[in-house]
DNA sequence: TAGCGAGTTCCATTATTTGAAACTCTGTTT
DNA sequence: AAACAGAGTTTCAAATAATGGAACTCGCTA
């Protein structure tokens, strides 16, 4: 049922975490057992271990498991240390002040788009509610902007991981159709999402590239067909591209900075 | 060096993640080896597994490890499913609109304060905190508000995990001094942080309690001594308490809601 | 009272993890 | 140019931890 490699006990433990995460709510032991191919006793001990490690919580009253708080600590550290988030933050703030539009920052993970930060037109705060969310790569602006700058082998691997679901009538549902679009994106330096993911939602996105041309992430301005045309969105391109370059430049120096002493 | 239980391979893997997180930046293998009490080959294979599972990333150029993107996915799920975050969000928005001050939402984890959400005042005061960030319980408003409503045995366990560092001259640095404060907090229904964590920073906090009186989390309004006195902050108490009750009421029904079907 | 489903424990078997040592690089010193 | 040193990687028999079938304990229900 699962094509992923297992990597022994650790892999199994993580797949259990995945199973709990996918449930979208508190889960009973029997439910997990039914979904999993692990034997009863094995799953049971794995759950015990994960609870003891605070990766899961067990509600004693209802006998249900949920994801644990320790994951949020890890994620905070991951965002702060290992993502574009902190570097991009001031740039997003500046861009947000300039263009009063919805802005997304994302990176590529496992062939999918992982959102790192967000600015809303009205509300100015970003939290886990936005960061950590995942979305498809083949039909979003940020996704396509990054795919367009992947090497041949990495691209094929990523394309193999797409679901190719036709979210709208405009969604590109084959690798060939997408590759043609990616070629255009590479030439233009920016990507459009022309209602490919949600009807009425359009966006323009730019990649954030290393000096070697590898995509570190991407950034987008989102709007609706009621408020903008693609032509109008294209007006943001120079600003977006400049911001993307600025973030990339900082990221290049960041990669070699001295690690902080803890405490 | 580590008093935590190991729980076999899974525990070791998580302690490696902790080690990487604590470094605050990309880490080389040799560095981790020096800090860890694991033998070279064991640590090496553990790292390989974690990279293969995308819990860590390995920068091939520099040979450094960093926390992986999969952690952010998990955290997003944890926040959405297993925390007060989504329930409290609209309430925080409303409160934020009403009182233009810095607001925090937190829960207790492993004797420490884990921040879940935040709202900034229009003119934000200088301090940083974000979802996933942790802080001390014994000298923060939210921390004390929660400790005040812990049962005797849970309280003692939590108090044993405090560092009792005197961040300021006003910090309570003994369990006895803190317990006296907690008694007052229990009577009042709210807690003050009177520059106990940072000089010049004060706050008022209320717990979010189950019907049984157990703390699910806490909420605070933060300001500085330049802008408010404790007396003035106390004016927010009724509003905070009402919001806390509203969140608690929703949380009670939430616990029994039907899980979402994924996709 | 018997039956059932959910959760928990047991323990001999089995497979994985272990870790000292050897090896391979790459860059530096004599 | 050869020797060295440091960092990372691989090997393999021994030791250990994970496995999972089965038995057990609850709390309910018929």
Nucleotide nearest to A60 in CA–C1' terms? C7
pLDDT at B122: 61
What's the CA–C1' distance between B9 and D18, in Å?
A: 10
The rounded percent of chain A whose pLDDT value lies above 70 is 91
Q: Which residues contact A103 (CB under 8 A, 6 or more apart)?
A: A92, A95, A96, A118, A119, A219, A220, A221, A222
Residues facing residue B57 across a β-bridge: B66
Q: Which strand (E) or helix (H) includes residue A95?
A: helix A85-98
pLDDT at A37: 86
Nearest CA in chain B to A77: B21
Q: Within a 10 A sphere around the Cβ of B215, how many other Cβ atoms?
A: 20
d(CA B233, CA B252): 28
A39 touches strand C (CB under 7 A): no
**Shortest CA gap A231–chain B (Å):** 33
Most confident of A23-27, A90-94, B253-257: A90-94
d(CA A192, CA A170): 12
Residue B57 banded pLDDT, cuts 50, 70, 90: very high
pLDDT single digits (tens) A164-196: 999 999 999 999 999 999 999 999 999 999 999
A74: contact with B, CB 8 A cutoff? yes
pLDDT at B259: 39
Mean pLDDT over A151-176 rounds to 96
pLDDT at B212: 87
In B118-229, where does DSSP find H-type helix? Answer: 141-147, 152-159, 175-188
pLDDT at A263: 29
d(CA B253, CA B87): 11
- For residue B8, the chain A residues in CB contact (below 8 A) are 9, 49
Q: Is the distance from CB of B208 to CB of B218 less than 8 angstroms?
A: yes
pLDDT at B5: 58
pLDDT at A230: 96
What's the CA–C1' distance between A111 and D20, in Å?
A: 35
d(CA A151, CA B195): 54
pLDDT at A127: 58
Mean pLDDT over B28-52 rounds to 91
Residue B115, helix vs strand vs coil: strand
Residue B35 pLDDT > 50: yes
Residue A203 pLDDT > 90: yes
A77: contact with B, CB 8 A cutoff? yes
Higher per-residue pLDDT: A121 or A78: A78
C-alpha distance from residue B223 to each of A15, B116, B124, B174, B206 (Å): 43, 19, 9, 25, 15
Residues facing residue B15 across a β-bridge: none
Contact B71 A66 (CB under 8 A): no
Residue A238 pLDDT > 70: yes
Tokens of B177: 């001094």
Residue B38 banded pLDDT, cuts 50, 70, 90: confident
Lowest-confidence segment of A77-86, B5-14, B117-126 by average pLDDT: B117-126
**Spatial CA neighbour of A200 closest among A169, A231, A174:** A169
- For residue B21, the chain A residues in CB contact (below 8 A) are 73-74, 77-78, 81
A29 touches strand C (CB under 7 A): yes
Mean pLDDT over B195-201 rounds to 96
B38 touches strand C (CB under 7 A): yes
Mean pLDDT over A104-110 rounds to 95
Residues facing residue A109 across a β-bridge: A112
pLDDT at B253: 79
Mean pLDDT over B229-243 rounds to 96
Tokens of B247: 């969140």
Residue B227 pLDDT > 90: yes
Report the largest interatomic distance among the alpha carbons of chain A, rounded to a whole angstrom: 60
Mean pLDDT over B162-189 rounds to 97
Q: Which nucleotides in chain C lie closer than 7 A to a protein CB?
A: 5-11, 16-22
**Shortest CA gap B131–chain A (Å):** 6
The rounded percent of chain A whose pLDDT value lies above 90 is 70
The rounded percent of chain B whose pLDDT value lies above 70 is 91
Q: Among partner residues A27, A77, A134, which is closest to B73 by beta-carbon distance? A: A134
Q: Which strand (E) or helix (H) includes residue B42?
A: helix B40-52
Residue B46 banded pLDDT, cuts 50, 70, 90: very high
Report the largest interatomic distance among the alpha carbons of chain B, rounded to a whole angstrom: 60
- For residue A255, the chain B residues in CB contact (below 8 A) are 26, 59, 62
Rounded to 5 degrees, what are φ and ψ at A130? Answer: -105, -55
Nucleotide nearest to A46 in CA–C1' terms? D18
Mean pLDDT over A220-238 rounds to 95
Residue that the structure tokens 């015990």 belong to: A48
Residue A256 banded pLDDT, cuts 50, 70, 90: low
pLDDT at B2: 38
Q: Is the distance from CB of B84 to CB of B55 less than 8 angstroms?
A: no
B63 touches strand C (CB under 7 A): no
Mean pLDDT over B112-117 rounds to 94
Mean pLDDT over B128-134 rounds to 73
Q: Is the distance from CB of B92 to CB of A129 less than 8 angstroms?
A: no
Residue that the structure tokens 């309430």 belong to: B91
Mean pLDDT over B15-40 rounds to 89
pLDDT at A1: 39
- Cα R_g (chain A), whole angstroms: 20
Most confident of A28-42, A171-185, B28-42, B246-260: A171-185
Residue B6 pLDDT > 90: no
Burial of A124: CB neighbours in 10 Å, binned 0-12, 13-18, 19+: middle
A41 touches strand C (CB under 7 A): yes
pLDDT at B260: 37
Whole-number mean pLDDT of chain A? 89
Tokens of A83: 């993502």
Residue B126 pLDDT > 50: no
Q: Is the distance from CB of B29 to CB of B46 less than 8 angstroms?
A: no
C-alpha distance from residue B43 to each of A101, B37, B87 (Å): 46, 9, 40
d(CA A134, CA A116): 9
């Amino acid at each position: 049922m699962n094509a992923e490699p297992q990597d022994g006990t650790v892999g199994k433990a993580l797949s259990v975490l995945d199973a709990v995460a996918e449930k979208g709510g508190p889960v009973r032991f029997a439910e997990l057992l039914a979904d999993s191919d692990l034997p009863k006793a094995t799953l049971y001990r794995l759950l015990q271990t994960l609870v003891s490690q605070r990766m899961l919580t067990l509600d004693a009253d209802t006998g249900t498991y949920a994801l644990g708080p320790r994951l949020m600590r890890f994620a905070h550290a991951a965002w702060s240390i290992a993502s574009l988030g902190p570097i991009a933050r001031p740039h997003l703030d500046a861009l947000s002040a300039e263009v009063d539009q919805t802005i997304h920052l994302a990176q590529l993970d496992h062939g999918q788009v992982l959102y790192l930060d967000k600015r809303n037109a009205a509300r100015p705060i970003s939290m886990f509610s936005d960061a950590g969310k995942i979305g498809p790569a083949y039909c979003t602006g940020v996704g396509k902007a990054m795919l367009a700058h992947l090497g041949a082998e990495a691209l094929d691997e990523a394309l193999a991981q797409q679901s190719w679901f036709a979210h709208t009538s405009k969604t590109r549902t084959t690798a060939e159709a997408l590759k043609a679009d990616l070629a255009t994106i590479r030439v233009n330096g920016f990507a459009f999402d022309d209602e490919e993911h949600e009807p009425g939602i359009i966006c323009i996105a730019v990649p954030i590239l290393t000096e070697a041309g590898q995509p570190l992430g991407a950034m987008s301005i989102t709007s609706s067909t009621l408020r903008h045309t693609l032509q109008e969105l294209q007006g943001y391109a120079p600003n977006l591209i400049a911001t993307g370059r600025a973030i990339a430049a900082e990221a290049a120096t960041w990669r070699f900075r001295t690690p902080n002493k803890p405490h």
